[in-house]
A and B are shown apart, each in its own frame.
Chain A
């Protein structure tokens, strides 16, 4: 049986060593920089965005970007079908994407780790049942499962996040469980058990910190995947609902203008790509910095 093999992970000796390895990966540093910029833009959207994301200027429907003939500098990336500034909507949209990522990752990490710890620590019937449920979730293509789930719960941002968290769950459960199973037979665990540590203490304070590295890497991946999935759901009309300036939803609304106004289609997608790419670059850097096996090579 192919079990994910997890090497023993020595916790990095402090932040300095982490940064040393992380910063050796130029891509990761660029990714981090871009991510920070997006983060700042999102946080200060109200000050940065030239217009309100929801005010419709009926004078300027489908205005092209500034550098195209007919464009205006005040609407740098053009306007959409009801005269809203695309740049401002993208800036505000960053809030939604990052928020989705954070919420989804938090929910799936917390619940996934919890369930994984339980399965890996107790083994036996509990383990079997949990893993069987995870198998069932994994038997569906994630996007399809999320789509049907959102259809059941009702289209909307919150439900989309719940659905995506659920389909992400098995990855964290499996990862945690595998890590716990390798750790629990280790000497240090047995030692603290002998020393009389309680179950909870063993689970959370002894074992968990030693399984953190792969979880962090997986969480980064889940972060970018969540943004993509939420955008895909929005694109299919099941994510955030208009007029929310969520990027995928903007794309879905823009589809009918694909022939006439390329900019309303191009920019939201580009925003998704850049954000996801930045996070994935960071993820690669994190893996390099946290995974000693790769440090060697």
Chain B
């Protein structure tokens, strides 16, 4: 039965498309299959591009190309003086999409918002476990279950979030993908039909594009939502051509089989830039890669030893060999595109001689250490193994013997958190919401020791600044705290900050209106394509 209905839907679409004669189809060569279409359930960027950024909207949205917030489904909002109450006024007249599988009868209201959040933390909500193993990873990852006191409907178009404590990054969190607003009416219908799992297969929201079909591991098809509250898109059809191999994505782009591709191989960027039909956009990613010493284990408990090791490593060489230049050497734990980045800080200079002397002065002789290299490529570190090999060679020059170790990715994540970890670990972080707290406190705060704080570094001074910065919503004041924190970080050197990768998006010159997002999302609203 299910098969038959999708079949009928698909046939209907074909007729529809034949009518529109392929006018204005934008093809995006996406990097992986979406895990599903309910953004609350997943963490993969490809899933968000394919669901939350096309089909759905949130109360607040990030402005295209920045980490600043702008009104989304909420027209305006008020924050109570103590920072624990947020009241959102919803945009009136927002229609849900009409699709082959569902026709909405009412417009967006407060019930939809409440449903979208409550399903993620209320265990008695029927949607809390609607697919096997639903775990609402981001919702809990951002600490929402311990933060939200209640969400209440004031009237049809007003929703109030009551928090247990003041949390400055809360608003930015609401711009994240897991906070997408779903249709309660659609959900109720699916529940009534006993087909709840379709929520994750046939998404329906208020966003710029309407979901048409997903051909497993091959393509996802959308059409412009004619009822979109911000106006219908200029393109008619949007296709995600799933192409997991970066070299093949590049070839498809060159052959004109797609118009935009994310994540080219660093090695291919130069050649893509040479192509007359293509433009290559670039931006620093919202990420950092680092080598975290274990500051609990001697001799790495001494700041001067860590500093000396930092000075022995030629970071530029790593950037060149691993990224072919597609990254910048990092000096701070937060990326330069983020507010409060302290550009006044000077990086430890690459100076093997001085490093050798500093080690001697610290009484460290014949040091043997392990460097942990991740087994997988991440955006901030494409090849940890290669980076580790380069560090090994550099450190050998100052008399430090390095053994490179690696584990399965899951093992690696687990073992690298251990307080008694033997060796320095390469790892990194990609920002979630553009807030510095999301880097500094998450990765270096005392609470994170034994967890995300891979340096196991707990500095009272630093930690106090984090607490102060969290308690106020005043950005200028927060900036001051974070800048100071970066100074302490550099002095103490719990990490060797390696790089911030550059993110490239090669696209056809026919495409206009595509903007890179520092958050690493790919959005196609506002994009047009020349015939």
Contact = CB atoms under 8 A, between A and B. Distances in A.
| Contact between A and B in the complex (any CB pair below 8 Å) | yes
A260 B267 CA distance: 7
Given A58-B320, A260-B268, A260-B271, 7 more contacts: A81-B321, A155-B375, A256-B246, A256-B266, A259-B267, A260-B267, A261-B267
B393 A56 contact: yes
A258 interface: yes
B389 A82 contact: yes
A243 B390 CA distance: 11
Interface string A80-91: 011100000000
A258 B390 contact: no
Nearest to A58: B317
Given A58-B317, A61-B321, A256-B265, A82 B386 contact: yes
B250 interface: yes
Contacts of A154: 408
B406 interface: yes
Nearest to B247: A258
Nearest to B386: A82
A58 B386 CA distance: 13
Contact of A259 (B271, B389, B406): B271
B247 A255 contact: yes
B500 interface: no
B465 to A, nearest CB: 39
A278 to B, nearest CB: 31
A246 to B, nearest CB: 14
Given A56-B390, A259-B247, A259-B250, A82 B321 contact: yes
Top 6 nearest A-B pairs (CB, nearest first) are A256-B265, A258-B247, A82-B321, A257-B267, A260-B267, A242-B385
15 contacts: A56-B389, A56-B390, A56-B393, A58-B320, A81-B267, A81-B321, A154-B408, A242-B385, A243-B385, A243-B389, A255-B247, A257-B265, A260-B270, A260-B271, A261-B267
B421 to A, nearest CB: 19
Interface in B11-33: none
Interface in B323-380: 324, 375
A142 interface: no
B66 interface: no
Interface of B: 245-247, 250-251, 265-268, 270-271, 317, 320-321, 324, 375, 385-386, 389-390, 393, 406, 408
Interface residues of A, number: 18
A61 B386 CA distance: 13
Contacts of A255: 245, 247
A241 interface: yes
> Which of A56, A243, A256, A261 has the most chain B CB within a 10 Å cutoff?
A256
Contacts of A261: 267
Interface in A32-84: 56, 58, 61, 81-83
Given A58-B317, A81-B267, A242-B385, A256 B408 contact: no
A261 B324 CA distance: 13
Nearest to A255: B247
A257 B393 CA distance: 24
A154 B324 CA distance: 30
Nearest to A237: B375
Interface in A133-183: 154-155
A256 B247 contact: yes
B114 to A, nearest CB: 43
A263 to B, nearest CB: 13
Nearest to B246: A256
B116 to A, nearest CB: 37
A295 to B, nearest CB: 49
B266 to A, nearest CB: 8
